[in-house]
């Protein structure tokens, strides 16, 4: 076992690239079959890309939206930051409406607006600097939380994860997948099980591909196999990311996370949530108050454009769920580890 992590060896993918003129987004609808960047040169194009899941994952959509504000700023003239902020409000609101559940989107946009409102005549430079800082801080947070989370995992463990929480979902390295990368790099984790994550297959298409780029070969399981896997004693930890962490420690994450937490508790498997502090929403008291995104039922009718469901049916497609804090053993952010999270522990870590 080693404590060091070779970040370059384990972190090669960048889903968001700012060229100086435009935003390039690795098209996550096409992976792993095509590795292709989509060019966005307007904030509307960025909002559409967020809505369409071209770019996805809580931190990544916040970063993309921040660059969307930089693009929107090209269409306006203003003497100072306060005037620019007022003129950019419609574009900011449009970006904010692209997806409702991950708080990182609203967080990044609020941060961009705050920086702008305080800026003078150099407000264009301030905006660009802030967008870059949001991305850089996310990468640093992921590396830090990777080390913190991995330290909780006993050498010789196997882990299971859900959805995609890696470089593709962040500025780089990943949240839960960062913990897993760090755990593998340190020799703590032997085997990684990845759930498919129906209906959009973030696990089967994205997580598996991403780990392969690092030379890590995960074992894919059907989502429905998770309880059976846990019962078999083959995994010691479930490690997932988050789209929003409430003031009482409740966690919104990809649909299916809640049932993993229930199964984990039943089978004595530990459950870890890894997310940057930008995912913490101390203004939302509990998970019941979170707006859960519901997407087009058509996403459930087939796979890869081939219809698999019977014709003329309805479907319900909530894409996130809430895991109550009582089922979580540890929340890991770049600020530290919160064991057995509840309102008091969250307050102590993040203030009121």
**Closest among 174, 247, 244, 233 to 206, alpha carbons compared:** 174
Query: What distance in Å separates the CA atoms of residue 84 and residue 239, rounded to the nearest whole number?
Result: 42
> Is 270 one of the binding residues for ligand MRU (CB under 6 A)?
no
Query: Minimal distance in Å, beta carbon 126 to ligand MRU?
Result: 27
From the list 27, 214, 243, 250, the catalytic residue is 243
243 given a catalytic annotation: yes
| The two three-digit tokens of residue 174, written as one number | 């990943």
> Is 175 one of the binding residues for ligand MRU (CB under 6 A)?
yes
Cβ neighbours for 42, distance < 8 A, ≥ 6 positions apart: 71, 72
Query: What distance in Å separates the CA atoms of residue 349 and residue 190, rounded to the nearest whole number?
Result: 32
> Is 254 one of the binding residues for ligand MRU (CB under 6 A)?
yes
> Is 169 one of the binding residues for ligand MRU (CB under 6 A)?
yes
Query: What distance in Å separates the CA atoms of residue 331 and residue 352, rounded to the nearest whole number?
Result: 17
Of 19-27, 39-47, 169-177, 188-196: span binding ligand MRU (CB under 6 A): 169-177
Query: What distance in Å separates the CA atoms of residue 208 and residue 196, rounded to the nearest whole number?
Result: 9
Query: Minimal distance in Å, beta carbon 34 to ligand MRU?
Result: 18
Residues making up the annotated binding site are 56-58, 99, 202, 253-254
Q: What is the DSSP letter of 207?
A: I
Closer of 31 and 131 to ligand MRU (Cβ): 31
> Is 163 one of the binding residues for ligand MRU (CB under 6 A)?
yes
> Is 15 one of the binding residues for ligand MRU (CB under 6 A)?
no
Neighbours of 21 (CB within 10 A): 9
Residues making up the annotated binding site for substrate are 56-58, 99, 202, 253-254
Query: What distance in Å separates the CA atoms of residue 320 and residue 293, rounded to the nearest whole number?
Result: 7
Closer of 84 and 290 to ligand MRU (Cβ): 290
Map the footprint of ligand MRU across residues 32-71, applying CB under 6 A.
56-59
> Is 278 one of the binding residues for ligand MRU (CB under 6 A)?
no
| Closest residue to ligand MRU in the complex (CB) | 241
Q: Are strands 330-333 and 336-339 parallel, antiparallel or unpaired?
A: antiparallel
Query: What distance in Å separates the CA atoms of residue 152 and residue 258, rounded to the nearest whole number?
Result: 21
Could you list the residues that contact ligand MRU (CB under 6 A)? Answer: 56-59, 102, 163, 165, 169-170, 175, 202, 241-243, 253-254, 319
């Amino acid at each position: 076992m080693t404590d060091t992590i070779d970040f370059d060896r384990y972190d090669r993918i960048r889903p968001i690239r700012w060229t100086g003129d435009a935003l390039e987004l690795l098209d996550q609808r096409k992976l792993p079959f095509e590795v292709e960047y989509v060019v966005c040169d307007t904030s509307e194009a960025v909002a559409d890309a967020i809505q369409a899941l071209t770019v996805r994952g809580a931190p990544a959509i916040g970063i993309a939206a921040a660059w969307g504000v930089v693009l929107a700023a090209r269409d306006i003239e203003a003497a100072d930051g306060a005037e620019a902020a007022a003129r950019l409000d419609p574009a900011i609101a449009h970006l904010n409406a692209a997806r409702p559940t991950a708080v990182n989107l609203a967080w990044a946009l609020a941060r961009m607006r705050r920086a702008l409102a305080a800026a003078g005549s150099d407000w264009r430079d301030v905006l660009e600097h802030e967008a870059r800082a949001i991305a850089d801080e996310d990468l640093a947070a992921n590396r830090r939380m990777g080390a913190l989370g991995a330290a909780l995992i006993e050498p010789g463990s196997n882990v299971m994860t859900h959805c995609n929480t890696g470089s593709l979902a962040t500025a780089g390295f990943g949240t839960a997948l960062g913990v897993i990368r760090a755990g593998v790099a340190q020799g703590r984790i032997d085997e990684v099980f990845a759930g498919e994550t129906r209906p959009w297959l973030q696990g089967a298409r994205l997580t598996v591909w991403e780990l392969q780029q690092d030379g890590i070969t995960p074992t894919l399981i059907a989502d429905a196999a998770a309880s059976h896997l846990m019962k078999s004693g083959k995994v010691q930890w479930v490690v997932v990311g988050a789209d929003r962490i409430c003031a009482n420690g409740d966690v919104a994450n990809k649909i299916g996370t809640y049932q993993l937490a229930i199964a984990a508790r039943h089978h004595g498997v530990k459950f870890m949530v890894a997310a940057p502090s930008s995912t913490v929403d101390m203004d939302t008291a509990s998970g019941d108050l979170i707006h859960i995104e519901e997407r087009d039922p058509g996403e459930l009718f087939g796979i890869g454009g081939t219809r698999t469901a019977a014709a003329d049916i309805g479907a319900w497609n909530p894409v996130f769920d809430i895991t109550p804090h009582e089922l979580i053993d540890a929340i890991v952010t770049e600020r530290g580890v919160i064991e057995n999270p509840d309102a008091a522990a969250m307050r102590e870590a993040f203030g009121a």
